[in-house]
Amino acid sequence: MVACEGVNMLKEALEGQVTLVCNTTAGSVQVQVEPVGRWFEAFLKRRDRNVSASFQELEEEEELSEEEADEELQLEEYPLLKTLDPKDWKNQDHYAVLGLVHMRYKATQKQIKAAHKAMVLKHHPDKRKAAGEQIVKGDNDYFTCITKAIEILSDPVKRRAFDSVDPTFDNTVPSKAEGKEKFFDVFAPVFERNARWSTKKHVAAFGSMDSSFEEVDNFYSFWYSFDSWREFSYLDEEEKEKAECRDERRWIEKQNRASRAQRKKEEMNRIRTLVDTAYSCDPRIKKFKEEEKARKESEKKAKAEAKKKEQEEKERARQAEMEAARLAREKEEEEAKQAAQQAKKEKEAQKKAIKKERQKLRTTCKNCNYFVDSEVESVRMMEDVEKLCDRLELMSLQTLNELLASGSKQESRAAIETQVQEVNAQLQREREAEVKTQQAARSSENTNAGSGGSKGWNEEDLQLLIKAVNLFPAGTNARWEVIANYMNLHSGSGIKRTAKDVINKAKTLQKLDPHQKEEVNKKAFEKFKKEHSAVPPTVDNAMPSERFEGSASDTTSAPWTTEEQKLLEQALKTYPVNTPERWDKIAATVPGRTKKDCMKRYKELVEMIKAKKAAQEQVAAKSKK
């Protein structure tokens, strides 16, 4: 054994070996190194495989595996290859042409190139010609199909387009009857094969009967928001490269986009139908619903019991409160009864006292002959005494009786006359106040009736009101607000009307007698006629009285009936604007109406609709604010 400084123990040197003695080794230093590029890829592979190998070894291993895969690649000869029509390349199976029908979309680019190489070595026209086979000249030889297949499958974009319409893919959706019998056996393969269209790499697992609610919910959430990369450009009927000009190319692109969008929509409907059918047949959903229902029932039962206990406690508390309230109420009623009895006694006593004082006043005046000498004055004095008995209160009567008992005849008479004057003055003030109140009420009524509860109305505003009432008949949404807004937009007076002002004025016009109403309408019509003498009569400048009464006719034509209106509307739909001699044909469909009548009625309807829209938009904008 040889001891070495810095080393605890060395193995025994064998014969022929040399042992060296060295100094103390330096301490190790740890340096953190991050691999990048291809070395990082090699690092990931080593980590995943849990092995220690160099990048070169892994690369050689990968090349060896690819070579082995190429050697193991077996092509399946397509029996119908020689019968294919090169012009019908869109309908051929390119994977089958290259002998990859068993691998299809799972085939790698290297496998596709290897398959193409093998097919070229076997079916190239030069090879076949050397073997004595008769070759078809031009692009009509089936070898063109092999060339087209490698052209499409070697291009990732074109290959994806072809894979999207893979003729071997099964697009069928199981029915509910099939799914209810064997749900997992029927739907699991369908979702598995449709998962190839997902843009997301990680597809939610279908699961089993023992799957949890979260797993099932994640599965259906994934498929209800399924994002498919499947597109249908391969089925385009036209190729834009064949277009002769830019406009034709644009038209072809537009047609192709529309057809792709329609097929994409049908594909998403198919996926949605598949998910809906699976969801309705899934026994796990039924189980979860039953469990949820049982849980809710138990919670409901527990809540009902808790509520029942709470109700019982509340009932007991309510009974106690009711008992306390009853006792308090009885006590209050007793106190109120005693107070009422006391008040009644006091009132009776006051009545007796007033009655006694009144009788004392009458007796005193009667015994003194009412303090007068003549019979006429005696009668007047008797009336005054009765007036005092009716108007004076207890204290005033007692004071007056004391004055009469202690004073002389002249003093007593003066006291009675003074008291009578005061009572008369009070009565006079009461009558004047009542008259003023009645006059003010009548003045207010007259003002409201004359002005409609708003500012003054001139003839132009009256005419505008009559027009608006007919433009916006009963049933219009927010009718009076729309009418008020219409008047504010078209009135030249500058006065802003509210819905309440318009309603009051309309009611006032309806209450006028026929002669006054006709006079107002005639004045408005004459003014309008002067200002619009050059405008042909329409519904907007028709006789105001006719418009206010609800007539839509002018002075020269009969009103349009409901049946004629329907016929006109149907004719307008039947004969559009570009129809030759349109108005002649429209007039022919409306019996009794000329071409001019139909055109005039159309203009009236257009103007009415425009006015209604403008007013209603203003009201809607105000309501939003």
Note the maximum CA span of the chain: 181
Question: What confidence score (pLDDT) does residue 295 get?
Answer: 92
Question: What confidence score (pLDDT) does residue 22 get?
Answer: 58
Task: Report DSSP state, residue 371.
Answer: G
DSSP H helices in 35-142: 37-49, 55-72, 94-97, 109-123, 125-130
Per-chain mean pLDDT for the chain: 78
Bigger pLDDT: 16 vs 321: 321
pLDDT, average across residues 79-103:
83
| Location of each CATH 1.10.8 domain in the chain | 345-441
Question: What confidence score (pLDDT) does residue 1 get?
Answer: 39
Q: 349 by DSSP, 3-state: which?
A: helix
Question: What confidence score (pLDDT) does residue 424 get?
Answer: 86
pLDDT, average across residues 533-541:
41
Considering the segment(s) 463-515 as one domain, its CATH architecture is: Orthogonal Bundle (1.10)
Question: What confidence score (pLDDT) does residue 316 get?
Answer: 92
Question: What confidence score (pLDDT) does residue 230 get?
Answer: 87
pLDDT, average across residues 549-576:
71
Number of residues assigned to the chain: 625
At residue 237, what are phi and psi to the nearest 5 degrees? -80, -30
- Please name the residues in contact with 208: beta carbons below 8 A apart, sequence gap of 6 or more: 184
Which tens digits make up the pLDDT trace of 57-66? 556 655 555 5
Which tens digits make up the pLDDT trace of 336-349? 999 999 998 988 98
Q: pLDDT over 70 for what percent of the chain?
A: 80
Question: What confidence score (pLDDT) does residue 446 get?
Answer: 59
Measured CA to CA in angstroms, residue 255 lies from 157, 235, 603 at distances of 20, 12, 40
Beta bridge partners of 7: 4
- Please name the residues in contact with 405: beta carbons below 8 A apart, sequence gap of 6 or more: 364
At residue 370, what are phi and psi to the nearest 5 degrees? 60, 25
Measured CA to CA in angstroms, residue 576 lies from 222, 573, 605, 610 at distances of 50, 6, 17, 20
Question: Which one, of 531, 457, 524, 552, lies nearest residue 497 by Cα?
Answer: 457
Q: Which long-range contacts (CB under 8 A, 24 or more apart) does 443-451 make?
A: 448/504, 449/508, 449/511, 450/508
Q: 493 by DSSP, 3-state: which?
A: coil
- Please name the residues in contact with 380: beta carbons below 8 A apart, sequence gap of 6 or more: none
Q: Residue 381 has which token pair?
A: 């004095």
Question: What confidence score (pLDDT) does residue 179 get?
Answer: 78
Place of tokens 């160099």: 54
Cα distance between residue 120 and residue 143, in whole Å: 8
Q: What is the CATH number of domain 345-441?
A: 1.10.8
At residue 408, what are phi and psi to the nearest 5 degrees? -80, 180
pLDDT, average across residues 569-590:
85
Q: Residue 55 has which token pair?
A: 């990048």
Bigger pLDDT: 31 vs 50: 31
Bigger pLDDT: 620 vs 265: 265
pLDDT band at 452 (very low <50, low <70, confident <90, very high): very low
pLDDT band at 625 (very low <50, low <70, confident <90, very high): low
Question: What confidence score (pLDDT) does residue 304 get?
Answer: 92
Place of tokens 């329609």: 262
Does the CA dihedral 588-593-595-598 come out positive or negative? negative
**Domain 565-623, CATH homologous superfamily name and number:** Homeodomain-like (1.10.10.60)
pLDDT, average across residues 343-360:
87
Cα distance between residue 127 and residue 118, in whole Å: 12
Question: What confidence score (pLDDT) does residue 583 get?
Answer: 87
| Location of each CATH 1.10.10.60 domain in the chain | 565-623
Cα-atom radius of gyration of the chain, to the nearest Å?
Answer: 55
pLDDT band at 334 (very low <50, low <70, confident <90, very high): very high
Q: How far does CA 620 lie from the centroid of its chain?
A: 17
Q: Residue 324 has which token pair?
A: 């306390």
pLDDT band at 546 (very low <50, low <70, confident <90, very high): very low
Question: What confidence score (pLDDT) does residue 135 get?
Answer: 77
Bigger pLDDT: 334 vs 77: 334
Cα distance between residue 213 and residue 219, in whole Å: 10
Question: What confidence score (pLDDT) does residue 515 get?
Answer: 58
